[in-house]
Amino acid sequence: MKIILFGAPGSGKGTQAADLCGRLKIAKISLGDILREEVKKGTGLGKELKGYMDKGLLVPDEVVAKVIEGNLNSKGFVLDGYPRNLNQAKTLDGIFKKNNINYDVFVNIYVDEQTIINRLSKRRVCKQCGAIYHLVNMPPQKEGICDKCAGALIQRDDDKPEVIKKRWEVFQKESKQVLDFYKTQKKFLEVDGCENKEKIFEAITKKIGQ
């Protein structure tokens, strides 16, 4: 099965993508994970990406498109974190056609602004291994310490309330066109992302017949 998973930062799409991949035995294609891994490895692409990031610039759509195309496969996947705007949605459509890939469903995980702020402002990330925690829903066994590697847990700058509000505004502006684009393709599904992760997963699997 080939799934495009869409949602605002903090909607839980990363968690749902991982759980869906486990259930369906298909690949997880997370744009954020791939970009971070390329930078970490110091590949040619990673150095190019780091150059944009160090300057505080967005990675150009054409570079991102190459990354996505290089990781797609026809056997099945959950695509998480792409597309984020209408131009990327149209680019992805072209990539699918070029590689004879027909996606099965576009799933929008809907959440409201307050839910996003509550979730992200309480998120903590391990500085060493990148493991993610939540102070309420998924706290570490020892405060401020990662369960997996004993690294220090930090709050990312983009998880601070004032930054979250800005990210939400940008998402709202860009997401409407993306949602409208996929609604015309008759493969559109939507689930309530304000529920807990188990209920969200149950809703998604029920709607996609899995």
| Total number of domains constituting the chain | 1
Q: Picking from 44-48, 54-58, 91-95, 152-156, which range would have the lowest pLDDT averaged per residue?
A: 54-58
Report if residue 34 sits inside a domain.
yes
Specify the pLDDT at position 135: 92
Note whether 112 and 193 are within 8 A (CB): no
Q: Identify the active-site residue in 127, 167, 187, 197.
A: 167
Average pLDDT over residues 58-64: 83
Q: Is 148 a catalytic residue?
A: no
Is 129 among the domain residues?
no
Q: Looking at 28, 119, 123, 124, which residue is catalytic?
A: 123
Residue 126 covered by a domain: no
State the DSSP string of 44-108: HHHHHHHHHHHTTPPPPHHHHHHHHHHH--SS-EEEES---SHHHHHHHHHHHHHTT----EEEE
Q: State the catalytic residue, choosing from 2, 84, 119, 124.
A: 84
Of all residues in the chain, the percent with pLDDT exceeding 90 is 53
Q: Which one of the listed residues 2, 13, 28, 124 is annotated catalytic? A: 13
Flag whether 72 is in a domain: yes
Indicate left, alpha or beta for 28 from its phi (over 0: left) and psi (-120 to 50: alpha): beta
Q: pTM of the full predicted structure?
A: 0.83
Residue 206: what pLDDT?
A: 93
Asked if residue 135 belongs to a domain, the reply is no
The CATH number given to whatever domain includes residue 82 is: 3.40.50.300
Give the pLDDT band of residue 51 (cuts 50, 70, 90): confident
**What's the token pair of residue 205?**
């699997």
**Structural domain contains residue 61:** yes
Task: Return d(Cα 104, Cα 151) in angstroms, integer.
Answer: 40
Question: What residue numbers bound the domain in which 195 lies?
Answer: 2-112+168-207
If you average pLDDT over residues 154-171, what whole number do you get?
A: 87
Closest listed residue to residue 77, CA positions, set 105, 115, 113, 51: 105
158 is a domain residue: no
**Beta bridge partner(s), residue 189:** 107
Residue 159: pLDDT over 90? no
Contact assessment for residue 30 and residue 14, using Cβ atoms and an 8 Å cutoff? yes
Question: Is 134 domain-assigned?
Answer: no
Active-site residue, 40 included:
no
Please tell me which residue in 156, 165, 166, 206 is annotated as part of the active site: 156
Is 167 tagged catalytic?
A: yes
Q: Is the pLDDT of residue 56 over 70?
A: no
The CB density around residue 77, as the number of other CB atoms within 10 Å, is 23
